[in-house]
């Protein structure tokens, strides 16, 4: 074309070439991503490092002050002196030492000014003792006693003897606890069931006056059964009493005499000592052993001392079971609702309005869901269930069964909370199913539901799973609504256990996210609880990550099966 | 049928004044133009009769008075420039257009004598009597085996032996058996494009359809896969009644017995493939099939 050839070539301005090349955009977008990744990994790394280091045995330092006082403990924080403020405040560098021995000193932790410290050392026999009650004890082993008998004297002998005797004592103590909690708990439940049966028979008699003869027979039968149960329980109780008494007698008298840094001697009963270690003597392998042991206790035991020590097993159990039940509840509801919206409802203003409403529902503060759950699920729904099926407990014990917070109601509340996420994700997944697949199915003579069930749903499944993953991640980390509908500070009876009917959806439960709040902000010994908070957070993040990884793995399997990578 | 009443221009000799695009210009101007139907077409026994069929998408008419019989056990090709309504016509045969909300029709079609647009006709049952293959391969998200027996499964057939037999027969019929017999229970998604399309053909013939509808089955395939599918259509010839839409003149001339030329929603000329390609009645048709227009 002639005219083109004659026109002079337009020079590209450097500005247009810059935007065309897109360098600034690469930097801007890449920078934003890098910043986001840095913040997230930074937070996670912080949690992971703090959480994972809690249980590592730290050396015990003997701090000798200029005024002659002595203290033994772990240095948990050091503060450098700031030249500018030191002159004004007169404060030099100082360190926070976990001195433990609360019953002796009235303190768990103490600050020491470096200026006042004469000497710091790590004595070989310094021992840290974790106890069932009263917190940590730091000191030096003096003697091991059994009643009036002295088993060992001197730190080395005493420590050896302690390591020999302690496991058996602990084993007996655990057996006693098991009998008390488990066997006696079961007897108590049997007793209560029999008593409530009598009350129920009485209630039936009151309501069904027409056939009073047979009803009173039922009452008599219930009363007779109760007598039987009482007799059986009493017999069994006596047996258990004998067992526990024997075990307790065996444990009695075992004590470890410990001398604190200040020279005060105390005899600690052996069965009250959970764990003892001598960090200054431990090899790396030994430290690893203590570390693993403390993690194991943390993961598998019940909490002690207002949740600031011991394990968090009930909370792990509660978190996982609640999240799974929530997912099981929200999946069918969300998918069905989305199916209706996308596949059946005709497009129009009403459908659009419903869709917008659902999207907005995701923005309602979660505490509102909690209040709704409490009012509707616990009081209205649970109250009616109690009226219908658990009157006896209501009348005799003034105790609601379903009419209060519990695992089921909490799961339902969270299912409601996460419903919008699932609906939106499912709708998106459904609309991403190519129409050609639906047409192919119709052309084969399939009906609408057949097409949905056999073609659309399988194909949309990975997308639906994405919605569920998001819902689970959101639900597992939620605290506010749970406080209203069934999460408790302490609930050792698990919602799923070995007693009939094995699943107890009405029971209150513990939850890791609530535990973080409880341990971190409600604990009387907040300094000691701080590392626990990090560990629990670490665990919660790990559990959510684990659930997500499992779901993502499942999704990728489904994807490989159902979604084509064209050609 | 009113086709027979249409005046037929003498073959070959057209008046000097009529240019190749006269009729097409008339069509474009919205005037009614009669279809030229060769008498050979009318002699064959039809499996499907399209009778004065009109279709509107909302206010826009996409098919204008289509009247054409589709001969039994023959391959009939639909050609014409894109947007002329070939797919629409095909999708009207198995009433897939029912799924489009704005569609309105008049006229009728008959499948072996049964009125397709009879209000009492059960669409689901009707579709079971036909098979359809689409432009883009659309294997279902399930195993190769389940893809093939899909039509039987939704009919409630669960007898393993019966399903196995149908699966093998259909896959052999679609010339795919040897390639997939060792991985019948693998996902169909893993097949190549050409294999996927042949799988779709196997799926379409599994239920012994009375008519097989193919909508540009090769347009998304590479030349080798296209060759295989064309060979397959050759093999289906004589056993199935096939209505195939194609963009490719060579394909139409190679694979079909009859060819219909459509333009802007109208049937322009319809005859045996050799008739249409070697001695068409209309210059317009000749221009189109020789590639001088379209
Ligand atoms: N779902 C639809 N809604 C509205 N118009 C449509 C729809 N499908 C096709 N059309 C129109 O109908 C005409 C015929 O289309 P189609 O049958 O797909 O042509 P072809 O297959 O011959 O290329 C085109 O003008 C197209 O725009
Ligand atoms: Mg088309």
Query: pLDDT by residue (tens digit) across A213-237?
Result: 666 777 788 888 888 888 888 999 9
Distance in angstroms (rounded) separating the CA atoms of residues B72 and B55: 24
Q: What digits encode the pLDDT tens for the residues A367-409?
A: 999 999 998 988 888 888 888 888 777 777 777 878 788 889 9
* pLDDT of residue A565 exceeding 50: no
Question: Quick one: fold of A313-565?
Answer: MetI-like fold (1.10.3720)
Nearest to A472 by CA among A331, A282, A298, A299: A331
Cα A439 to middle of ligand 1, angstroms: 16
Strands (E), A297-351: 303-304, 309-310
- Inside any domain, residue B44: yes
pLDDT for the residue A150: 87
- Inside any domain, residue B158: yes
A447·B124 Cβ contact <8 A: yes
Nearest to A107 by CA among A541, A551, A448, A525: A525
Nearest to A530 by CA among A24, A176, A202, A50: A50
- Inside any domain, residue B176: yes
Q: What digits encode the pLDDT tens for the residues B86-97?
A: 999 999 999 999
Spatial CB neighbours of B292, under 8 Å, sequence gap ≥ 6: B20
Nearest to A322 by CA among A471, A153, A161: A471
Query: Residues with Cβ within 5 Å of ion ligand 2?
Result: B 87
Q: How far apart are the first and last CA of chain A?
A: 41
Nearest to B226 by CA among B198, B256, B259: B198
A444·B142 Cβ contact <8 A: no
DSSP string for residues in A185-225: HHHHHHHHHHHHHHHHHHHHHHH--TTHHHHHHHHHHHHHH
> By the 8 A CB rule, do B291 and B249 touch?
yes
Nearest to A459 by CA among A439, A485, A433: A433
Computed from CA positions of residues B34, B35, B39, B41, in that sequence, does the dihedral angle turn out positive or negative? negative
Q: What digits encode the pLDDT tens for the residues A460-509?
A: 988 898 889 888 888 888 888 998 988 888 887 777 777 667 778 888 88
pLDDT for the residue B257: 93
Q: What digits encode the pLDDT tens for the residues A295-344?
A: 999 998 888 877 778 888 999 988 988 999 999 999 999 999 999 999 89
- Give the helix, strand, coil percentages of chain A, each rounded to 5: 65, 15, 25
pLDDT for the residue A102: 87
**Mean pLDDT in chain A?**
85
> By the 8 A CB rule, do A108 and A135 touch?
yes
* pLDDT of residue A77 exceeding 60: yes
Grouping H, G, I as helix, E, B as strand and the rest as coil, residue B263 is strand
Nearest to A444 by CA among B280, B127, B3, B264: B127
* pLDDT of residue A288 exceeding 90: yes
Q: What digits encode the pLDDT tens for the residues B184-241?
A: 998 888 898 889 999 999 999 998 899 999 999 988 888 888 888 888 888 888 889 9
Q: Domain range for residue B85?
A: 20-289
* pLDDT of residue A242 exceeding 60: yes
B200·A440 Cβ contact <8 A: yes
Grouping H, G, I as helix, E, B as strand and the rest as coil, residue A1 is coil
pLDDT for the residue A42: 95
- Inside any domain, residue B12: no
Nearest to B134 by CA among B208, B239, B237, B245: B245
Strands (E), chain B: 36-37, 46-57, 60-71, 75-79, 103-111, 114-115, 130-133, 211-215, 242-245, 258-263, 266-272
What's the structural domain count of chain B?
Answer: 1
Distance in angstroms (rounded) separating the CA atoms of residues B27 and A24: 55
Q: Which of A434, A445, A563 sits opposite B151 (nearest CB)?
A: A445
DSSP string for residues in A359-382: HHHTTS-HHHHHHHIIIIIIIIII
pLDDT for the residue B243: 95
* pLDDT of residue A212 exceeding 70: no
Distance in angstroms (rounded) separating the CA atoms of residues B274 and B284: 16
Q: Which ligand is nearest to the CA of B98?
A: 1
By percentage, how much of chain B surpasses pLDDT 70?
92
- Band (pLDDT 50/70/90 cuts) for residue A88 is low
Chain B neighbors of A566, CB-CB under 8 A: 193
Q: Which of residues 445-474 of A touch B (CB under 8 A)?
A: 445-447, 450, 454-455, 458-459
- Is the ipTM reported for this complex over the cut 0.85? yes
Rounded to the nearest 5°, which phi and psi values hold at A22?
80, 10
Q: Which of residues 501-560 of A touch B (CB under 8 A)?
A: 560
> By the 8 A CB rule, do B197 and B136 touch?
no
Nearest to A471 by CA among A430, A511, A514, A425: A425
- List C-alpha distances in Å: A326 to A313, A332, A359: 20, 11, 20
Residue spans per domain, chain A:
139-274, 313-565
CATH code at position B38 = 3.40.50.300
Q: How far apart are the first and last CA of chain B?
A: 30
Cross-strand partners of A110: A97
How many A/B residue pairs have CB atoms within 8 Å? 81
Nearest to A564 by CA among B174, B220, B171, B187: B187
* pLDDT of residue B156 exceeding 70: yes
> By the 8 A CB rule, do A200 and A207 touch?
no
Nearest to B44 by CA among B207, B244, B250, B270: B270
């Amino acid at each position: 074309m002639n005219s083109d050839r004659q026109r002079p070539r337009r020079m590209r301005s450097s500005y247009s070439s810059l935007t065309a090349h897109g360098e600034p955009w690469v930097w801007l977008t890449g920078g934003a991503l890098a910043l986001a990744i840095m913040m997230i990994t930074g937070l996670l790394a912080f949690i992971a490092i703090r959480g994972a280091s809690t249980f590592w045995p730290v050396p015990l330092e003997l701090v000798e002050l200029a005024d002659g006082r002595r203290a033994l403990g772990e240095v948990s924080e050091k503060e450098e002196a700031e030249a500018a403020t030191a002159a004004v405040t007169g404060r030099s560098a100082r360190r926070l030492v976990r001195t433990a021995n609360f019953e002796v000193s009235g303190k768990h932790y103490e600050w020491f000014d470096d200026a006042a410290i004469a000497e710091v050392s790590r004595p070989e026999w310094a021992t840290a003792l974790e106890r069932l009650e009263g917190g940590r004890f730091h000191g030096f082993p003096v003697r091991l006693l059994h009643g009036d008998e002295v088993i060992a004297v001197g730190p080395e002998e005493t420590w050896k003897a302690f390591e020999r005797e302690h496991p058996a004592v602990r084993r007996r103590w655990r057996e006693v606890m098991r009998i008390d909690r488990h066997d006696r708990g079961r007897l108590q439940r049997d007793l209560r069931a029999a008593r409530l049966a009598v009350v129920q028979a009485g209630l039936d008699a009151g309501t069904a006056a027409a056939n009073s003869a047979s009803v009173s027979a039922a009452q008599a039968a219930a009363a007779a059964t109760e007598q039987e149960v009482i007799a059986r329980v009493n017999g069994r109780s006596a047996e258990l009493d004998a067992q526990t008494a024997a075990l307790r007698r065996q444990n009695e008298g075992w004590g470890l005499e410990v001398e604190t840094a200040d020279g005060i001697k105390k005899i600690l009963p052996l069965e009250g000592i959970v764990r003892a270690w001598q960090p200054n003597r431990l090899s790396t392998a030994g430290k690893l052993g203590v570390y693993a042991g403390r993690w194991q206790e943390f993961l598998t035991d019940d909490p002690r001392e207002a949740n600031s020590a011991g394990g968090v097993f009930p909370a792990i159990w509660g978190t996982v079971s609640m999240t799974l039940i929530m997912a099981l509840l929200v999946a069918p509801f969300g998918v069905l609702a989305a199916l209706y919206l996308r596949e059946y409802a005709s497009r129009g203003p009403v459908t659009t309005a419903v869709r917008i409403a659902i999207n907005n529902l995701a923005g309602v503060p979660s505490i509102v869901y909690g209040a709704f759950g409490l009012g509707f699920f616990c009081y209205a729904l649970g109250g009616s269930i109690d009226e219908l099926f658990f009157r006896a407990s209501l009348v005799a014990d003034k105790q609601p069964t379903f009419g209060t917070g519990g695992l089921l109601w909490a799961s339902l509340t969270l299912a409601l909370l996460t419903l919008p996420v699932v609906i939106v994700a499912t709708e998106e997944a459904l609309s991403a199913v190519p129409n050609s697949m639906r047409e192919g199915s119709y052309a084969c003579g399939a009906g609408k539901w057949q097409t949905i069930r056999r073609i659309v749903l399988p194909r949309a499944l990975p997308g639906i799973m994405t919605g569920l993953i998001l819902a689970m991640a959101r639900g597992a980390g939620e605290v506010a609504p749970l406080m209203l509908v069934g999460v408790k500070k302490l609930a050792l009876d698990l919602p799923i256990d070995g007693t009939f009917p094995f699943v107890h959806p009405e029971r209150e439960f513990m939850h890791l996210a609530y535990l973080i709040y409880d341990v971190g902000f409600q604990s009387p010994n907040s300094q000691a609880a701080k590392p626990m908070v990090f560990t629990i957070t670490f665990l919660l993040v790990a559990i959510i990550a684990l659930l997500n990884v499992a779901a993502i793995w499942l999704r990728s399997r489904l994807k490989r099966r159902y979604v084509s990578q064209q050609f | 049928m009113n086709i027979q009443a249409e005046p037929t221009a003498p073959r070959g000799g057209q008046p000097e004044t009529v240019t190749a695009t006269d009729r097409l210009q008339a069509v474009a101007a919205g005037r009614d133009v009669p279809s030229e139907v060769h008498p050979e077409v009318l002699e064959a026994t039809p499996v499907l009769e399209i009778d004065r069929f009109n279709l509107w998408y909302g206010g826009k008419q996409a098919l204008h008075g289509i009247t054409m019989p589709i001969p039994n056990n023959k391959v009939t090709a639909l050609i014409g420039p894109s947007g002329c309504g070939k797919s629409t016509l095909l999708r009207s045969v198995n009433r897939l257009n029912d799924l489009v909300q704005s569609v309105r029709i008049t006229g009728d079609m008959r499948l072996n004598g049964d009125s397709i647009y009879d209000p009492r006709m059960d669409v689901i049952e009707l579709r079971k009597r036909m098979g359809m293959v689409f432009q883009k391969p659309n294997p279902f998200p399930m195993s190769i085996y389940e893809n093939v027996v899909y039509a039987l499964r939704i009919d409630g057939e669960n007898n393993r032996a019966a399903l196995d037999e149908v699966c093998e027969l259909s896959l052999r019929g679609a010339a795919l058996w040897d390639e997939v017999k060792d991985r019948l229970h693998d996902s169909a998604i893993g097949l190549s494009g050409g294999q996927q399309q042949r799988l779709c053909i196997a799926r379409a013939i599994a239920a012994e359809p009375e008519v097989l509808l193919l909508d540009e089955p090769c347009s998304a395939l590479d030349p080798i896969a296209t060759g295989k599918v064309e060979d397959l259509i050759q093999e289906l010839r004589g056993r199935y009644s096939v209505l195939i839409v194609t963009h490719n003149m060579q394909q139409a001339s190679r694979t079909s017995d009859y060819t219909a030329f459509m333009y802007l929603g109208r049937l322009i000329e319809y005859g045996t493939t050799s008739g249409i390609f070697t001695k068409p009645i209309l210059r317009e048709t000749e221009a189109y099939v020789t590639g001088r227009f379209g």
